Amino acid sequence: MLTSAEVRRKWVLSVEDWAEIRRLHRAERMPIKVIARAVGCSKNTVKKALAADQPPAYRRQGRGSVADAAEPRIRELLQACPTMPATVIAERIAWRYSIRTLSTRVAELRPVYLPPDPSSRTTYLAGEIAQCDFWFPPISLPVGFGQTRTATQLPVLTMITGYARWALALLLPSRRVEDLYAGWWRLLDQLGAVPRVLVWDGESAVGRWRARQPELTAACQAFRGVLGTKVLICKPADPEAKGGIERLHDYLERSFLPGRSFCSPADFNTQLQMWLGVANRRPKRSLGCAPWDRIGADKAAMLVLPPVPPPTGWETTLRLPRDHYVRLDSNDYSVHPSAIGRRVLVRADLDRVQVWCEGDLVADHERVWARHQTITDPAHVKAGQMLRQRFALVQPVAAAEVEQRRLADYDTALGLAGFDEPVAL
Q: Tell me how many domains the chain contains.
A: 4
Cβ-based burial of 80 (10 A; exposed 0-12, middle 13-18, buried ≥19): exposed
Average pLDDT over residues 388-395: 75
pLDDT value at 79 more than 60 = yes
Same domain, 231 and 331: no
Would 305 be classed as within a structural domain? no
Cβ-based burial of 41 (10 A; exposed 0-12, middle 13-18, buried ≥19): buried
Pairwise CA distance, residues 379 & 59, whole Å = 86
Same domain, 196 and 325: no
Same domain, 287 and 165: yes
pLDDT value at 78 more than 90 = yes
Average pLDDT over residues 384-403: 71
Residue 134 has a pLDDT of 95
Same domain, 171 and 233: yes
Pairwise CA distance, residues 163 & 165, whole Å = 6
Scored b (16 or more CB within 10 A) or e, 389-405 reads: eeeeeeeeeeeeeeeee
Same domain, 106 and 134: no
Same domain, 201 and 269: yes
Residue 216 has a pLDDT of 92
Would 26 be classed as within a structural domain? yes
Would 407 be classed as within a structural domain? no
Residue 171 has a pLDDT of 96
pLDDT value at 200 more than 90 = yes
- pTM exceeding 0.85: no
pLDDT digits (tens, 9 = 90+) for 300-351: 999 999 999 999 999 999 999 998 999 999 999 999 999 999 999 999 999 9
Residue 46 structural domain: 4-51
Length of the chain as a residue count: 425
Would 421 be classed as within a structural domain? no
Would 171 be classed as within a structural domain? yes
Same domain, 188 and 212: yes
Same domain, 186 and 277: yes
pLDDT digits (tens, 9 = 90+) for 171-185: 999 999 999 999 999
Residue 409 has a pLDDT of 74
Same domain, 236 and 191: yes
Same domain, 379 and 250: no
Residue 122 has a pLDDT of 75
Q: What is the mean pLDDT of the chain?
A: 87
Residue 407 has a pLDDT of 73
Query: Which of the four pLDDT bands, split at 50, 70 and 90, describes residue 24?
Result: confident
Would 408 be classed as within a structural domain? no
Dihedral sign for Cα 282, 288, 293, 299, please: negative
